[in-house]
Amino acid sequence: MPKQKIWWIFVLCGLFFLWSALPVAALGEKAYWQFEYEPRIWGIDLVWSRLGYPLFPGVDTAYFFSVGGGLETFGFYRLPDGTPYRPPQDGENRALYEDANLTWSLGLKQGLVYDPRRLRNLWEAVLVYHGRYDHHLRDWTPEALLFATSLPDRAGGFQNAIFAGILYNGVDEEREEWLKQGSYAELSGEFAPRGFFNAATGADYHRFNGTVRWFYPLRTGDKFGVYLAERFMYDHLGGAYIPVRARTTFGGFSNYPGFARGLGGSLRGVDAGRFDGYVKVVNNLEVRVGFLPWREYGVVPVLVGYLDLGVTDNLTSRLDFDQVLVTTGLGVGVSGLILYGNYFWQENRFSLNLALGLHF
């Protein structure tokens, strides 16, 4: 039976490619395959997309797929009895473990409302199948807290899900002036039943996500560009078993082909994987300043000041507003490489971290 199920996945992929390759005159641009890549520290994600055969007149239909892989360090910040684990400022962090993973996805975006000024869809529906395989390198960190649990996904394995959502994209990127303005919003659902090739990890959950991004220019000019940037995310998980990967991430499509990190990671200065939860909220507010005279060479020195706020449920399914997590800091860098100095108020902790690109 498993072989038959896998065979049907290959058939579905083949039909998808045949359909997406049909000739079409797209509304906003020529229909051809576009290639993008998203680097990781030790890995990469590759994305192919194409404006293909339209399902409805007057709007564009986009088909896309991705593959990726890498070696990553993740964190599981809970003791064997389920209580939160606070890492020491000095010494070994027992939450950390190494993970070798492969990821893949296949989907389409269907236009609902077309924007003739921007020559693209303004409102879209999106449908995606995504999966991943994790191999936890237990021999590298045998004392990691995750391996002391009885969780069904502690050894890794396959996780597969179907994602569906509605997107609004009213953001304009002024590349000549290094500015963004406008707003982006989405509502989405993610469904990962146990019978959908998830038996090995026990994954059996659903997720609701709402995400809003907002950009507002404060200054435009030849030397400096300044704008405000804000992101709000709400994430709600439920089901028979919610795996660690879902508890430590935010859903949604805005970070495709990956997922936004949970409170640990979305709150800069908080270790990725901390404050996992079934319900979580985060708000990131930034002022971004770019030095523009060298932008024609692809080099833009940037300065970022930020305030991050977050709330989790501590696995109770009820947000704990008595403990609002707060981090502030500054980031300096050039183009896609930024060094952040972060201060985590609740723990009086200062940290430095290097990031690939802006936070969102």
Token readout for 42 is: 């030790």
Q: Copy the structure tokens of residue 259.
A: 């997922």
> What is the predicted pLDDT for the residue at 16?
54
Per-residue confidence band for 91, with pLDDT thresholds at 50, 70 and 90: confident
Residue from 136, 122, 126, 124 nearest 257 by CA: 126
- At 44, list the tokens: 């990469």
What is the model's pTM? 0.90
C-alpha distances in Å from residue 114, one per residue of 56, 61, 125: 11, 11, 12
Between CA 245 and CA 134 the distance in angstroms is 10
The Cβ of residue 90 has, within 10 Å, a number of other Cβ atoms equal to: 5
- Position of tokens 């449908």? 127
pLDDT, one tens digit per residue, over 323-349 is: 999 999 999 999 789 999 999 999 999
Per the listing, tokens 């080099």 go with: 299
Question: pLDDT averaged over the chain?
Answer: 92
The per-residue pLDDT for 154 is 96
pLDDT of 174 higher than 50? yes
Tokens coding 46 = 């590759």
Per-residue pLDDT for 1 more than 50? no
Q: Tens of pLDDT along 25-34?
A: 455 455 678 9
Closest CA to 199 of 148, 245, 157, 244: 157
State mean pLDDT over 160-183: 93
SS3 content of the chain, % helix, strand, coil (to 5): 10, 55, 35
pLDDT given at position 126: 98
Question: Among candidates 271, 267, 317, which has minimal Cα distance to 85?
Answer: 271
Q: Which two tokens stand for residue 149?
A: 């649990």
- Residue from 155, 99, 153, 108 nearest 130 by CA: 108
Domains parsed from the chain with CATH numbers: 2-220+233-268 (2.40.160)
List Cα–Cα distances, 66 to 103, 124, 242, in angstroms. Answer: 8, 19, 24
Residue 2 above 50 pLDDT?
no
What's 267's DSSP letter?
A: B
Is the Cα dihedral 73, 74, 78, 80 positive or negative? negative
Region 128-152 average pLDDT: 97
Helix (H, G, I), strand (E, B) or coil at 274: coil
Question: Side chain identity at 337, as an amino acid letter?
Answer: L
How remote is the C-alpha of 6 from its chain's centroid?
27
Q: Look at 106-110, 150-154, 220-224, 234-238 and tell me which has the smallest mean pLDDT.
A: 220-224
The tokens describing 326, both together, are: 């707060």
The H-or-E segment that residue 232 falls in is strand 224-241
The pair phi, psi for residue 14, each rounded to 5°, is -65, -45
Average pLDDT for 231-246: 98
Left if phi > 0, otherwise alpha if psi is -120 to 50, otherwise beta: which for 320?
A: beta
Amino acid at 104: W
pLDDT for res 41:
86
